[in-house]
Structure 1
């Protein structure tokens, strides 16, 4: 947040990205800068991380009971103010954890998520990236990793160990993944959904839900770092779970 003072009231304010309605772009607005309450820090947000939950909360209104709302999770930069009971290292030997306004820099998890978009919390929203990774197996043994990424990051993702990288913007990406797997002789049973849509993962796994040659139907699993939204389509044989750290 960039803290300024209005000429008339001398009330500190900061520029904030505000969501005015579900699925709508944010608007930059000035908000009164809150004071740091007991055991709390007020942080000047200069850097933010990417979170799939931000995308879901913006597009689906997940965990946002009312608007306008301010979202955001991972933040970092300078401590501006500390509340009561926050150690500053000036009244003790300074050997423990302490925070000095204007000096201490932190990486933190904003309480905005637990405040359901309350306008006094949160950090700036950030750019949305999409990715889908599938773990493949042949005869129940690990065989390969297929991943999706934008064209600009394809070589980088491959350097991390992905056996194949597909362009998630390709309208036929599901067919491309399925065809490649069949050509490689692997059967996709697991998918890790880092960010993006659930449906493409389900579509890929659904293509490999056949029997194992002994009349037994194989099941597939999706591990998602985002919460599975209510009303999401259910594909028989494909289990989707929220992997919560």
Structure 2
């Protein structure tokens, strides 16, 4: 292999199996940075891209949304970075030295999804180039906790978060804590209860022993205070219906999949709202909130206010990713983020 080529995990065509192949190493253009990837994290979106071609414009395609590494080369006009800097996709967010590349790779997409669901504006409409219902995506429009108006603003107000051991759930719990919510109630298996509590949850309801149909009663035993915010990371029809039943009048339910309750962009009779989160900040409509999020992430990591996910490193570099993507797609990953080391590919 020439020095201008690199190994890459490819999707040859829509729905085809992954293949390890080669791609040329790109040269950064004006305003661009070339990053040498040390760790790549897997997401549910990787499985959807491979099976259905979502967001893929041409083949063969290189999937992947999360990674961390070192700056290798700077394009013309790039300032604030230098070769060797440790960064994570986000866009490029500096990694505090106390975190490994593996840990840093777990952060970008999950953290963006959590933050946008909480702090993005409500009910955005009229977007183009977004699939299906995501054209109306938005968030709960809470003031950000890194602003004077938002830090600890919601003391005494409970929040419910489903899927507290998931990557997104972990970051939602941490941000809800920064926003002052309490109690913070989440669902997780009993084996992941301490993981959810370490992120900031005050109460963990075991979804193996409490069905979503029984979730409203379980929450009512914890708090009688109206719940103004629910972030339904699981977003199954059952979890959404339970969340909608728990939600207080004038409250906001954030869901990660197509809503089956309420109506996007409209308030219900009791002024409850449902918002569908869009986890990317690359679209122009999200640049303002995205830039604000990434500008504060390094500081949140440095203080420990935001912590990475637990990591499970996959074997065999790029060749180990397909089996990992399959596990993620089958819902067989819990309490960890799967990470691969491309440099370990045989």
Contact 1:75–1:110 (Cα < 8 Å) also in 2: no
Q: 2:5 aligns with which of 4, 7, 13?
A: 13
Are residues 43 and 185 of structure 1, via their aligned partners in 2, closer, same or farther at CA, if it must alter by over 3 Å? closer
Are residues 28 and 147 of structure 1, via their aligned partners in 2, closer, same or farther at CA, if it must alter by over 3 Å? farther
- Which secondary structure does the structure 2 equivalent of 1:81 belong to? strand
1:34 is the counterpart of 2:14: no
Task: Figure out how many residues of one structure are paired with residues of the other and give that number.
Answer: 194
5+ residue gaps, structure 2, are 93-104, 111-164, 174-180, 263-267, 279-285, 290-346
Q: 2:243 aligns with which of 192, 205, 210?
A: 205
- Structure 2 length normalisation: TM-score? 0.43
1:84 is the counterpart of 2:119: no
Q: 2:86 aligns with which of 92, 105, 110?
A: 105
Which residue is 1:46 aligned to? 38
Contact 2:259–2:274 (Cα < 8 Å) also in 1: no
Q: 1:242 aligns with which of 263, 268, 277?
A: 277
Which residue is 1:221 aligned to? 252
Once the two structures are superposed, residues 177-231 of structure 1 have per-residue CA deviations (whole angstroms, 9 ceiling, x without a partner) of 22312334535453124x443534422123347xx9xxxxx3542235x5x6xxx
- Which secondary structure does the structure 2 equivalent of 1:207 belong to? helix
Q: CA deviation at 1:45?
A: 0.8
Which residue is 1:117 aligned to? none
Note the aligned Cα RMSD (angstroms): 4.3
Q: 1:191 aligns with which of 230, 255, 279?
A: 230
Once the two structures are superposed, residues 18-65 of structure 1 have per-residue CA deviations (whole angstroms, 9 ceiling, x without a partner) of 345667764433222212222322111113457676566567654334
> Equivalents in 2 of 1:166, 1:108: separation in Å?
33
Which is bigger in relative contact order (C-alpha 8 A, separation at least 6)? 2
Contact 1:75–1:109 (Cα < 8 Å) also in 2: no
Contact 1:44–1:80 (Cα < 8 Å) also in 2: yes
1:162 is the counterpart of 2:201: yes
Are residues 64 and 31 of structure 1, via their aligned partners in 2, closer, same or farther at CA, if it must alter by over 3 Å? same
> Equivalents in 2 of 1:61, 1:171: separation in Å?
37
Which residue is 1:149 aligned to? 188
